[in-house]
Structure 1
Amino acid sequence: MDPLVLGGLVGIATIIVLFSGVPVAVGLLIVSTFFLFVFDGPRSLQALPELFYGDLNSFALLSIPMFIIMGSAIASTRAGPDLYEALERWLTRVPGGLVVSNLGACALFAAMSGSSPATCAAIGKMGIPEMRKRGYPDEVAAGSIAAGGTLGILIPPSVTMIVYGIATETSIGRLFLAGVLPGLLLVTLFIAWAIFDTWRRGAAGVALSGVRYTWAQRLEILPRVVPFLLIIAGVLYALYGGIATPSETAAVGALLCIVVAVVVYRMFRFNALWAVLRDSTRESVMILFIIGAAGVFSFMLSSLFVTQSIAGWIADLDVNRWVLMGIINLFLLVAGFFLPPVAVILMSAPILLPIILAAGFDPYWFAVIVTINMEIGLITPPVGLNLYVINGIAPDISLRKILAGSLPFVLSMVVAIIILSAFPGIVTWLPDIVMGPEL
């Protein structure tokens, strides 16, 4: 059978299996096993266990559970509400300042936890009721938190970037650095829209009414959040300064976050610490299971010459490289509507990277573009995980209103992709300055 036709059958079968409700990793293994058995014979199945565990036999993968423990320790405390309250006290006199405070808190908490749902839950529980109480429309209150939560997969340290680095064999340190300026760009675009929107709706005046904080009140909350920020800064400094590997820095960061959670937030109870380790283990196993299954899926595609045929077909297309990039963006966007970011990256990055390199694009720039596409998927139906998290926090705000409030931020992400396409140096400048140009 023609490999391209076979690739189409694999794609259809994968969609059907995943839409059936089967977990992503199990679905990938089912599809891989079936097509290898039918088209390559039973003998090919002998290599599957070795392939599965071989993809997990990487020291770099240790950084994933460590960063997850780091984020889980932060998420289990009041660090999120404290971040929100600290920024709210400092920015309360700025027009639209409460929305800006929420977005800033989302950005900082996302950087500390690396989890979009955790960010939405931690900041939204305080931010949404407070914005509604001050007169902000439901769409603004819910949409800003849903969009702010997506920043966790771009701003370092990002588990998604680690997965991309492992899947494409690119430097995780450079990937983290590549996400810094685009992350700040997205935060700026989000804040700019939020301020404009509150002014347009006439809500800025409401935001300025009746709330004043003294300097003592502004300063008293900082000691509770500064230690976490210092840990993040230290982890990134150790990583970028070449002092330690990603796995080593993640392990030290996880330990320090647990210590700060115990000391600052009095998390002495064994049950609380057990919950952190239990939830971290579940999430880590889920991600690692997907990584192993995606390795088997990639082997199946390569063994049946599907990967090579797709790459050759795209390379033979006589189109402008930006048209090619537009097609790839559309594919990533649609995939992100239905699948979690980790699954999309593991399945698509190994296939797309050779095509991207052949077209003259930078792999680290492409990592940022992929990640922003995945962010869009987090706040768009039918999956749109962040939309459902916000709906769980504020069930009286309909999903339609949450989606309506999120859509302008989706457009902000599209604008960010356009800006980064026009000025790719925004992505590559910082890695080149800190780590030197990659040879």
Structure 2
Amino acid sequence: MELDPLTLGALVALATILVLFSGISVAMGLIVVSVGFIWVFDWNGWFSVTLLPEILFGKLNNFALLSIPMFILMGAAVASSRAGSDLYEALERWLTRVPGGLVVSNLGACAIFSALSGSSPATCAAIGKMGIPEMRKRGYPDTVASGSIAAGGTLGILIPPSVTMIVYGIATETSIGRLFLAGALPGLMLVGLFMAWSIYDTWRKGGGEVLTPTVYTWAEKLSALPRVVPFIAIILGVLFALYGGVATPSETAAVGALLVIVVAVVVYRMWQVKALWTVLRDCTKESVMILLIIGASGLFSYMLSSLFITQSIAEWITQLDVNRWVLMFAINIFLLIAGFFLPPVAVILMAAPILLPIVAAAGFDPYWFAVVLTINMEIGLISPPVGLNLYVINGIAPDIKLQTILKGSLPYVGCMVVAILLLCVFPGIATWLPDLVMGPAIK
């Protein structure tokens, strides 16, 4: 069946949207679309379909993929312990006298916990269970209490070590270590923007600290650190091993996961078989889901390439006589819309291999683009219609309406847009640290 590749690409896009909206899993949806279009439109027909199992498993035959379940195991161990509440309590003791300090401490706890867990929902649940009731008790508006936690939970996909960055690196064959470094300063910048807005919003609305903040002694402040410092030390150790050339990302992730489990067992007494089984079960479920999506995306990419759709789209875009920033604006709009409906991993695996050659041809740095893409995915996590974090917060505090949570999270979407604009004006925010530590990237 003969069709123009661009027309065929439009049909693939439409079919993919319809299949994924049917409620089928992302991995199975990509497999169905890939098999269907190869069978109908590939001139090799059934013979090409028989190659798909080999392509799927070949996509998973990558040593770097071992780092994904290891980092997820690291996060599952943290999420199953009291680490979230301890982080919250420690930061609350140290920042209680800062204006809007409770919101700031919640965002700080979200940043550290999400870096450890790499899971946005887990961060919202762990920090939100403690932080939201306490902020409401202190007189903070529901919009501030719920919106700050929903936004803070998104930070884990940007701040290293990030599973999302690992997936991007595998999909685009770029350096995972350099991607981690590229996300570090933008991640801290985003935390700063969130905190600045939260302090201003609290002051503007006159909310917060209706109750007199508890005054903690130095002994009480210091006593909160022993449970928190080991986890922070593990993060720093993982990053040092990775960037110091001590180990590969997969080896570093394995050691990090082992250390987190040891700390969880020693500090939180998680030696019961039931507790460890819960950690392994949660890790396995999430790892299998991500790896299936990665394998299915390999089929999807093969289908696009074999039908000459990828090549035709790239050629069509390069022939457009438009300013490169207009092109980047259009790409951002596409990513934003895709992030509203699909999880970050799915968007990256489907879109990054197609977009990266176009972005590189337009003169943009691929590691800078990874950060911009990831921030777009963060926006999707707190935006309807999917907005996973919004529903997690609603589950924690069901008496807070979903509309109120959305209203509270929208200013943080604005902070993310500001972050993207700052990255466009000052790309060095993303590229300076990787170039400093690892040398300039080979273009």
Alignment TM-score, normalising by the size of structure 2: 0.98
Q: Tell me which residue corresponds to 1:337.
A: 340
1:430 aligns with 2:430: no
Q: Tell me which residue corresponds to 2:31.
A: 29
1:309 aligns with 2:312: yes
C-alpha separation in 1, matches of 2:213 and 2:105: 17
Deviation (angstroms), 1:206: 2.9
> Which deviations, in whole Å up to 9, do the C-alpha atoms of 1:45-83 show, x marking residues without a partner?
011011000000000000000000001111111111100
Among 254, 260, 265, the residue aligned to 1:262: 265
> Which deviations, in whole Å up to 9, do the C-alpha atoms of 1:157-206 show, x marking residues without a partner?
00000000000000000000000000000000000000000000012553
Q: Tell me which residue corresponds to 2:10.
A: 8
> Which deviations, in whole Å up to 9, do the C-alpha atoms of 1:90-140 show, x marking residues without a partner?
111111000000000000101111110000000000000000000000000
More displaced stretch, 212-221 vs 182-191: 212-221
C-alpha separation in 2, matches of 1:315 and 1:210: 59
C-alpha separation in 2, matches of 1:381 and 1:217: 41
C-alpha separation in 1, matches of 2:174 and 2:359: 14
On the 8 A contact 2:135/2:208 being kept in 1, the answer is no
Deviation (angstroms), 1:210: 4.0
Among 334, 353, 359, the residue aligned to 1:356: 359
Deviation (angstroms), 1:281: 0.5
Q: Tell me which residue corresponds to 1:367.
A: 370
Q: Tell me which residue corresponds to 1:116.
A: 120
Structure 1: where are the runs of 5+ without partners? none
C-alpha separation in 2, matches of 1:143 and 1:101: 14
Q: Tell me which residue corresponds to 2:179.
A: 175
Which 4+ residue blocks in structure 1 deviate beyond 2 angstroms? 204-207
Q: Tell me which residue corresponds to 1:93.
A: 97
Q: Tell me which residue corresponds to 1:132.
A: 136
Q: Tell me which residue corresponds to 2:80.
A: 76
1:286 aligns with 2:289: yes
Q: Tell me which residue corresponds to 2:277.
A: 274
C-alpha separation in 2, matches of 1:216 and 1:146: 32
Among 294, 303, 327, the residue aligned to 1:300: 303
On the 8 A contact 2:304/2:310 being kept in 1, the answer is yes
- Percentage identity across aligned positions? 77
Among 249, 254, 257, the residue aligned to 1:246: 249
Q: Tell me which residue corresponds to 1:104.
A: 108
1:218 aligns with 2:221: yes
Q: Tell me which residue corresponds to 1:392.
A: 395
On the 8 A contact 2:297/2:349 being kept in 1, the answer is yes
Q: Tell me which residue corresponds to 1:406.
A: 409
Deviation (angstroms), 1:212: 1.0
Among 139, 164, 170, the residue aligned to 1:166: 170
C-alpha separation in 2, matches of 1:206 and 1:88: 16
On the 8 A contact 2:139/2:208 being kept in 1, the answer is no
On the 8 A contact 2:75/2:118 being kept in 1, the answer is yes
Structure 2: where are the runs of 5+ without partners? none
On the 8 A contact 2:97/2:213 being kept in 1, the answer is no
On the 8 A contact 2:140/2:209 being kept in 1, the answer is no
More displaced stretch, 195-204 vs 128-137: 195-204
Q: Tell me which residue corresponds to 2:349.
A: 346
Among 62, 83, 86, the residue aligned to 1:58: 62
On the 8 A contact 2:84/2:109 being kept in 1, the answer is yes
C-alpha separation in 2, matches of 1:272 and 1:317: 57
Among 178, 182, 190, the residue aligned to 1:186: 190
Letter of the structure 2 residue corresponding to residue 301 of structure 1:
L
Letter of the structure 1 residue corresponding to residue 260 of structure 2:
C
C-alpha separation in 2, matches of 1:97 and 1:27: 45
On the 8 A contact 2:139/2:209 being kept in 1, the answer is no
Deviation (angstroms), 1:42: 1.3
Residues matched between the structures, number: 438
Letter of the structure 2 residue corresponding to residue 165 of structure 1:
G
